């Protein structure tokens, strides 16, 4: 037998032993060196916001064309949501100056949209925050991180004093994302919403720029 095949056999044996050892390790144990806080930080680093691009239109339409998203948003947002709706929307955001609408990315992939609607006249230092995350990405802390980034941007770059929003009474996930970012509930607008033929309350949240 050639010496090379003997080496090959030894390598195979070594690999088999390594695999055997790997099987003995608990699942995901390579992450066990991180504390829960470190794991959270590593996940958060993968969530970013960036301006939308024309090339996002197909992905944007695919994510936004979802009744479970639309059920929590205002009626002017189209449903079904087509690629031409996405193109129209992206073109509007590209023209924004200053930029106030962003795509949310998770590990570099478009996963949602977040924006600030700047108010006018005596309300010019206020803006309404709005966002959605595509269903395949739910539950990864994406909305929470995106709200943090957008809020920071609104106060630091757009020099706002106050950011606020209204959440439909059944949208616990959105309320949690706001509360985890220091937004406070300032009241409930009883029966303010008429959506899908049903009346419901609107929970109003706000955050002020820290002095
Ligand atoms: C609401 C929405 C933005 C949340 O996005 P997300 O990336 O899944 O949110 P996060 O992962 O940051 O979760 C925020 C909190 O809500 C919780 N949560 C997530 N989905 C939930 C659900 N269906 N019910 C209750 N709580 C939920 C999370 O566990 C987390 O709380 P925790 O940290 O205490 O565990 C997303 O579901 C969505 O886009 N919905 C449709 C559009 C919408 O509601 N937009 C906001 C309008 S105000």
144 CB under 6 A from ligand 1? Answer: yes
Torsion of CA 145, 126, 210, 203, to 10 degrees: -60
pLDDT for 17 beyond 50: no
The reported pLDDT for the residue numbered 194 is 98
pLDDT for 15 beyond 90: no
What the block records as the tokens of 78 is 């189209």
The reported pLDDT for the residue numbered 29 is 44
* Helix segments in the chain, DSSP class H: 3-24, 36-44, 57-64, 67-70, 83-94, 142-156, 172-179
User: What are the pLDDT digits (tens) for 119-139?
Assistant: 999 999 999 999 999 999 999
- Identify the weakest region by mean pLDDT among 14-18, 33-37, 141-145, 162-166: 14-18
Task: Could you please state the CATH topology (level 3) that the domain comprising 47-208 is classified under.
Answer: Aminopeptidase (3.40.630)
Please tell me the distance from the alpha carbon of residue 193 to that of residue 4, in angstroms, as a whole number.
Answer: 76
Please tell me the distance from the alpha carbon of residue 180 to that of residue 186, in angstroms, as a whole number.
Answer: 15
Q: Closest ligand 1 atom, CA of 167?
A: 48
Residue 140 — pLDDT band, cuts 50, 70, 90? Answer: very high
Q: Whose CA is nearest to atom 10 of ligand 1?
A: 141
Phi, psi angles (nearest 5°) of residue 207: -140, 140
Please tell me the distance from the alpha carbon of residue 119 to that of residue 107, in angstroms, as a whole number.
Answer: 32
Please tell me the distance from the alpha carbon of residue 162 to that of residue 78, in angstroms, as a whole number.
Answer: 28
What the block records as the tokens of 166 is 């209204």
What the block records as the tokens of 71 is 């059920």
The reported pLDDT for the residue numbered 44 is 79
The reported pLDDT for the residue numbered 8 is 52
User: What are the pLDDT digits (tens) for 186-207?
Assistant: 999 999 999 999 999 999 999 9
132 CB under 6 A from ligand 1? Answer: yes
User: How far away, in angstroms, is 36 Cα from ligand 1 center?
Assistant: 20
């Amino acid at each position: 037998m050639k010496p090379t095949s003997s080496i090959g056999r030894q390598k195979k044996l070594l690999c088999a032993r390594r695999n055997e050892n790997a099987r003995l390790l608990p699942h995901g144990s390579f992450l066990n060196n991180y504390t829960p806080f470190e794991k959270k930080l590593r996940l958060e680093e993968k969530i970013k916001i960036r301006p939308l691009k024309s090339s996002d239109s197909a992905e944007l339409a695919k994510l936004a064309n979802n009744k479970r998203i639309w059920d929590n948003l205002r009626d002017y947002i189209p449903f079904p949501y087509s690629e031409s709706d996405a193109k129209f929307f992206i073109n509007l955001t590209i023209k924004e100056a200053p930029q106030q609408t962003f795509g949310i990315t998770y590990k570099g992939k478009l996963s949602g949209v977040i924006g600030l609607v700047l108010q006018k006249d005596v309300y010019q230092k206020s803006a309404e925050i709005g966002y959605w995350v595509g269903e395949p990405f739910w539950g990864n802390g994406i909305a929470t991180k995106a709200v943090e980034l957008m809020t920071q941007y609104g106060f630091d770059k757009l020099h706002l004093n106050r950011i606020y929003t209204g959440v439909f009474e059944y949208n616990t996930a959105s309320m949690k994302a706001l509360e985890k970012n220091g937004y406070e509930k300032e009241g409930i607008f009883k029966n303010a919403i008429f959506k899908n033929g049903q009346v419901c309350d609107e929970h109003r949240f706000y955050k002020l720029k820290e002095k």
